[in-house]
Every structure is written in C-alpha cells, then in structure tokens.
Chain A
C-alpha cells in the first residue's frame, strides 16, 4: 500500500520533472512531442484544480446553513451569486455577445461581477490613506530613505505634484520626472535584482527538492 500511496506519486514527480528539465536541452522531435503531450495534460489537470476552491467554498457555507450558524442567512447569498452567473451561462451557451447584442451572461458580468470584484479592491484605497496617517512611522534612517523615495514617487507621478516641484525646486534644474526615472532605473534595479537573484536560487533549490522527493509537505500527511 505504501508503494501505491507514496512511491508511485514520488516517481511521477521525479519522472515528469526530470523529463521536463531535459526537454530544455534536447531539441529533438521526440522531446517536443513529449512536451506537447504534457502541456495538454497539464492544462486539463489544472482546470480541475479549480474544483478544489469551489468544493471548499460550497462545503463551508453549506455547513453554516445546516448548523444555522451565526449569520447563516448570508451564506445563501453565496449560492445566489453562483446561480446569477451560471444560469445565464447555461441559457446562452457561455456567450456574452450574440450578433452584437449583449446576452444575459454579459449583463451579469458587467453589472454584478464587475461591480463586486472591483469594489472589493477599491476599498483598499481608503485603508492606504488611514495607514499613511496612523502607521507610517519614520522611525529610523532606513524608514526615512523609504519615505523619501515614496515621497518623490507619489508627488512626481501626478501633474499637480510636478507643478509643485517645479515651483519649489525648479531652480535645481532637475524635473521630478527625471528623478523618478533615475530611481526606477538605478537604485531600484539594484535592490530588485539582489532580491530576484536570491529568490531565483531559492526557487531552483526548492524545485530540485520537489523533483527529488525531499520536499513533500504539499502531499499532506499519511
């Protein structure tokens, strides 16, 4: 049983992984054919991974309704929202436009999903101003450098800020837009590149651990 439960999955990860690595160095047609097959399979397997999210969402809200937990009534809205997308999709065969006319599916996207999803993230703008006020602390020299860079970018990215800069610091002969370009192209590149190289090596090591079956926490416990 251990063989089926553990060895075979570990063999799968090793074989697919090593062959994928090899395909980078082997241009032969056999290698291309193999990669093509894997591509098609991978695309389909990933499509089913979506079911994980779906099942867990439905399951947790079904549980709430069943237990009549606090605020269980709201959980009904999860199902209503789901149906508000899926029912029109079934009626229209998944098409948002037919002969230049928006279908009910297109309508649901535009006025329900679009409004909800974009507002959820728009709310963050409010929190960023309150964070700026309540928890942006210039408490050290490092934080001060961070603040200066942020200050220049926030100011210089909008026309009004550029005008203020020009009227106050115009005598320096440096436009704020030039300074932003410099920050983005010189020190920020150095900072990011250092992080990037470190992360890249980390990712390669982790991938090697996965392929060789050393890292297997994603498989869960026995």
Chain B
C-alpha cells in the first residue's frame, strides 16, 4: 500500500470518527451519513467474510466437485429466508427447528455439568484442604458458599419472603449488589478504554505525516456548526438534542 493510500486512509478514518462523535453536540447530516455507512459497511464486511470463508469453500466448491450432500444444509439454510414471505414463511421452520434442536441438545448436558454440578463442587471443594487452610481462607470459602445460598434464596419463588427467609434473601441482595458494583466499576473502565482507542487513533492522524487530518476536519465541522446556527439553521425545539 502506497503512502498516498495510507494518508487517504488517515483522512477517511479521522473524518468518520469525528462525524460520529459530532452527534454528542447535536444531530447533523454528517453523523447521519456516517451512521448509515456503518450499517452498510458492517453488513458488507460480514457478507464478504461469509462468502469467502464459508459459502464458497464449504458449499460451492464441494458442489462443483460432486458432493451433493452439502445441498441438505444449504437448503435448510436458505429456507430461513422464507421468513420474509408471509405465505410460505412456515418453510423457514425447517431451518430454525434444526438449529434449535442442535443448540438445545448440545447445551443441556454441558450446562448441567459446567454451570450446575461444577458450581456445587466449587463451593464444597475448598473444604477438603481444611487442615492447611488459614482462618481467612476458611472465612472466604464460607462466604462464597453462604453467599451463594443467600442469593439462591432471593431467587426462590415458591415461598413467601417473610421472617427468616426474608432476612436470608436480603443478605442475598447485598451479594448481588457487590457483584453489580464490581460490574459497574469495570464497565466504566471498559467504555473509557474504547474511547481511549479512538482518541489514540485521532492523535495519530493529527500528525504532520497525515497532514493534520484530525485538526483540519474538526475545525471544518465546528465551522459548519457555527455557520449553520447563523445562517437560517432552524432553532431546535429543545435546549438539548433529543438524544
């Protein structure tokens, strides 16, 4: 890839990024265009990946070499599309039921083993090393086991929650809250990481080797907003964008 292409790429990427961010200020045509471009580009990328990784090597080529067995899954797969034609949409059931049956059948024993039995074992197992455990470790293992039971009480719907049951299930809620708190804290970090990634790219494109793509595009967009609000841009009904 020549350098010209790389610079063009930098401008393209910086522009699309800034257009999408511009929505934070206000809805505008650049954002809308970029957003629709995103939908199309995503589909386009997936389409070519499916085409060159699956449809061609796993369906088309075997067919050409006379392996007509692949017609069965291909037809089942194509049947899904009939969903869009109400009169014959029942045909799509053949594909769906196959997928659902496969998925459900695969999941049942595996879920039982991984998320049910192994989790019971995980609560009990630590106590086999009772002799070598420190008091803190015993405490922690008891908290894990006891907390799990309290949470399960909270999700137990067959008895009314009052008296002792209510107390236990209330403790359960606090375990859930700590878990959600951890999830919240981590989500903050995750979202910031993504933003950091974009800013980092914008910073790269703001260099002289990209002819200051980020700055120029940003200034251009700001200029658009200023001009737009001066020249007949209708005042939006609300102070804040609808979003």
Secondary structure at the B interface, as helix, strand, loop or mixed, is helix
Q: Note all chain A residues with C-beta closer than 8 A to B176.
A: 191, 194-195
Please give me the residue from chain B that is nearest to A16 by CB atom.
Answer: B101
By the criterion CB–CB under 8 Å, are B173 and A74 in contact? no
Q: How far is the CB of B199 from chain A (nearest CB, A)?
A: 8
By the criterion CB–CB under 8 Å, are B89 and A220 in contact? yes
Secondary structure at the A interface, as helix, strand, loop or mixed, is helix
Q: A168 within 8 Å of B by Cβ? A: no
By the criterion CB–CB under 8 Å, are A194 and B175 in contact? yes
Contact bitstring B63-104, A, C-beta under 8 A = 1, else 0: 000000010111011101101100001101111111111111
Give Cα A171 to B175, complex, Å.
Answer: 27
Given A52-B83, A125-B191, also A81-B150 (CB < 8 A)? no
A:172-204 near B, CB below 8 Å: 182-201, 203-204
Select one of B12, B23, B45 contacting A111, CB under 8 A.
B12
Q: A27 within 8 Å of B by Cβ? A: no
By the criterion CB–CB under 8 Å, are A74 and B36 in contact? yes
Give Cα A208 to B109, complex, Å.
Answer: 11
Give Cα A8 to B94, complex, Å.
Answer: 8
By the criterion CB–CB under 8 Å, are A111 and B10 in contact? yes
By the criterion CB–CB under 8 Å, are B179 and A154 in contact? no
By the criterion CB–CB under 8 Å, are A124 and B37 in contact? no
B:36-52 near A, CB below 8 Å: 36-52
Given A12-B94, A50-B46, A125-B195, also A194-B40 (CB < 8 A)? no
Query: A-side interface residues toward B, CB under 8 Å?
Result: 5-6, 8-10, 12-21, 23-25, 38, 40-57, 59, 61, 71, 74-86, 89-90, 93-94, 101-102, 105-126, 128, 132, 142-143, 145-154, 157, 182-201, 203-204, 206-208, 210-211, 218-220, 222
Q: B216 within 8 Å of A by Cβ? A: no
Select one of A19, A52, A123 contacting B105, CB under 8 A.
A19
Give Cα A200 to B187, complex, Å.
Answer: 24
Q: Note all chain A residues with C-beta closer than 8 A to B197.
A: 118, 122
Q: Note all chain B residues with C-beta closer than 8 A to A120.
A: 20, 35, 38
Select one of A54, A81, A123 contacting B36, CB under 8 A.
A81
Contact bitstring B136-175, A, C-beta under 8 A = 1, else 0: 0000100111111111101100000000000000001111
Select one of A48, A74, A90, A123 contacting B21, CB under 8 A.
A123
B:95-133 near A, CB below 8 Å: 95-112, 114-116, 119, 122-123
Give Cα A207 to B147, complex, Å.
Answer: 28
Q: Note all chain B residues with C-beta closer than 8 A to A185.
A: 140
Select one of B43, B49, B73, B90 contacting A53, CB under 8 A.
B43
Given A190-B175, A191-B179, also A5-B112 (CB < 8 A)? no
Given A12-B101, A13-B100, A195-B151, also A93-B181 (CB < 8 A)? no
By the criterion CB–CB under 8 Å, are B104 and A17 in contact? yes
Select one of B17, B105, B194 contacting A18, CB under 8 A.
B105
| Shortest Cβ-Cβ A-B pairs, 5 listed | A194-B151, A20-B105, A190-B147, A149-B181, A81-B40
Please give me the residue from chain B that is nearest to A185 by CB atom.
Answer: B140
Select one of B54, B140, B187 contacting A43, CB under 8 A.
B54
By the criterion CB–CB under 8 Å, are B175 and A197 in contact? no
By the criterion CB–CB under 8 Å, are B24 and A126 in contact? yes
Q: How far is the CB of A89 from chain B (nearest CB, A)?
A: 4
Give Cα A61 to B144, complex, Å.
Answer: 51
Given A110-B9, A208-B108, also A122-B198 (CB < 8 A)? yes
Q: B223 within 8 Å of A by Cβ? A: no
Q: Note all chain B residues with C-beta closer than 8 A to A44.
A: 54, 58-59, 70, 73-74, 77
